Chain A
Amino acid sequence: MIATRRAADTAIILIIMLLAWQALHQLVGATALPGPVPTLAYLARFVPSERFAENAWATLVCFFYALLLSYGIGLAIGVWMGIHRLSGAVGEPILISLYTLPKVTLYPVVLLIFGLSLSGRVTFGAMHGVLPVALLTMSAIRNIPPVYLKSARTLHLSGWQTILTMLFPAALPEIVGGLRIGFTLTLLGVLLAEMFAAKQGLGSLIINAMQLMQAEEMLTVAVVLFAFAALANALLLWIEHRLHRRV
């Protein structure tokens, strides 16, 4: 019942968005903004093509490495700062101000260090993702009821045992929330890096299409990325809700 209503709501939003797109298209003209129908027709032709596959693969590889780094480093920092109170108290405001910083500003530094390479884009993507993962993991561990820690001590669990059998399962739902935001921001970082300076990848494809005034291709790539991000987010959100209900 609830599921069907949710599906209906999502469908309504999609329809409204398509109508708004069509209306905007009527307003500004076909050269600036092609309507949904021609764009989707172009999408059907463009997505199976070699050029799309190459660029999508480049973005995917870059995103995968960046995500690995974001999650690895973010979880490590988060767990450490969650367990060790003093480092948490010292580090949290620093992480928060880094989080709110527009990190694009630092992209030229990354470029100067790594050059126009995959490692540069991966680093930039990871820079976006690490902070939310670390901050939310930290707060997840801090929010664990103290009685759990006491029972771990009564059971004489070792440090690693405490982390694996107690801390991690108890903090998991919130940690997954952090991983979801980390996923989103890492993707944003990778795409920004590609839009600013890259020879391949979906971000650079959009910029190229804009410069060549190929509005259809530009919108097609945007629609594909939109769908990918929305679906991935829905999946992670679903896992998060399941974990919250588990307890």
Chain B
Amino acid sequence: MSRVGWIRLAVLAIAIGLLELCCRLGLIDQRVVIPPSEMAVALVRLLISGEANEQIVRTFGIVLLAALISVVAGFALGAVIHALPRVRQSLDPFFATYYAVPIFIFYPVMIVIFGLSAIPIVLMGVATAIVAMIIATLNGLDRVPQVLAKVARVHRMGAIATALRLKLPAAAPHLFTGVKLAVSYAFIGVIASEFILAPAGLGRVISDAYTDFNNRQMYALMLLLIIVATIVNMFLHVVDQRWAERRGIAKP
């Protein structure tokens, strides 16, 4: 590991150590924050007991589903919009504004329409993630070299064949940025919805644990979410960097 990497590790270790120390010394009330070591122990116990497994599977399943729908539908929509320049032009202000609007204000509307089930949560996950994928698809397709379109015409390929066999591979590195964003946005959308109101799921269990003053369970599950989200995001980030290196726009 590089020197910078070691320093980063040391900074994180010191931060966690300080938190542990402050909790142990009573500088931070244990009713507010429990020491990180106890969070880890509580998480391991919870995972071994299998009490929360159902909720864990449910939440991560919904995140996965929402991310999948966003990536597939986002790519399809992006490809269609890219083929229609006039539509794209008029959609530009919409895309520029989309993430400026806190779309969670529409979550209660979804609940009223679809009832308190998994559907509004999936929809919120898709709603937060899909536009990032559409924008990434548009950017990616913009960068497909003109000559490839000519190649397609020379080979008399149909629109679908051109999209799948030429444009998709050519735009792939850019599309992956969209996939990365879609996954992390789907995560945020699903967890936030579960927090606000949901029949089940990790967000719901954490907010229940908070209301019951069940700090151990709350911190254990929080730790789990943070670990999973960090690992997934870091993995996607590393893959994204690899792709970026390949297309020659990597950061030094």
Contacts and interface: CB of A to CB of B under 8 A. Distances in A.
Interface string A102-146: 101111110111000000000000000000000000000000000
A32 B7 contact: no
A113 B33 CA distance: 8
Interface of A is mostly: helix
A108 B108 contact: no
A13 B210 contact: no
A215 interface: yes
A142 B92 CA distance: 29
Contacts of A221: 105
Contacts of B197: 207, 210
Given A28-B113, A192-B104, A232-B100, A90 B222 contact: no
A213 B112 contact: yes
A107 B195 contact: yes
B122 to A, nearest CB: 16
B18 interface: no
A112 B188 contact: no
A153 B60 CA distance: 53
Given A102-B187, A225-B105, A90 B112 contact: no
Interface residues of A, number: 58
Contacts of A108: 206-207, 209-210, 218, 222
A191 B105 CA distance: 8
B93 A6 contact: yes
Contact of B32 (A90, A102, A113): A113
Interface string B70-114: 000000000000000000011111101101111011111101110
Contacts of B230: 97, 101
B203 interface: yes
A6 B187 CA distance: 34
B111 A195 contact: no
Interface in B213-230: 215, 218, 222, 225-226, 229-230
A218 B109 contact: yes
B113 A104 contact: no
B58 interface: no
Which of B112, B226, B233, B237: most chain A CB closer than 10 A? Answer: B112
Contacts of B210: 108, 111-112
Interface string B19-41: 00000000000011100000000
Given A6-B93, A225-B102, A94 B12 contact: yes
Interface in A72-118: 86, 89-91, 93-94, 96-97, 100-102, 104-109, 111-113
A80 B8 CA distance: 16
A102 B185 CA distance: 8
Interface residues of B, number: 52
B195 A196 contact: yes
A209 B229 CA distance: 32
B192 interface: yes
A88 B99 CA distance: 27
Contacts of A183: 100
Contacts of A232: 100
B1 interface: no
A233 B96 contact: yes
B101 A229 contact: yes
Contacts of A100: 184, 187, 229, 233
Given A86-B7, A97-B230, A33 B109 contact: yes
Q: Which 10 A-B pairs have the closest CB atoms?
A: A233-B100, A210-B108, A108-B210, A9-B90, A188-B102, A102-B191, A100-B233, A102-B188, A100-B184, A104-B192
Given A96-B237, A233-B100, 7 more contacts: A9-B89, A13-B91, A102-B229, A104-B195, A105-B225, A112-B32, A222-B106
18 contacts: A9-B92, A32-B113, A86-B7, A94-B8, A102-B192, A104-B192, A104-B203, A105-B206, A108-B207, A108-B210, A109-B33, A184-B100, A192-B104, A222-B106, A230-B100, A233-B97, A233-B100, A237-B96
Interface of A: 6, 8-10, 12-13, 24, 28, 32-33, 86, 89-91, 93-94, 96-97, 100-102, 104-109, 111-113, 180, 183-184, 187-188, 191-192, 195-196, 203, 206-207, 209-210, 213, 215, 218-219, 221-222, 225-226, 229-230, 232-234, 237
Interface of B: 4, 7-8, 11-12, 31-33, 89-94, 96-97, 99-102, 104-109, 111-113, 184, 187-188, 191-192, 195-197, 203, 206-207, 209-210, 215, 218, 222, 225-226, 229-230, 233-234, 237
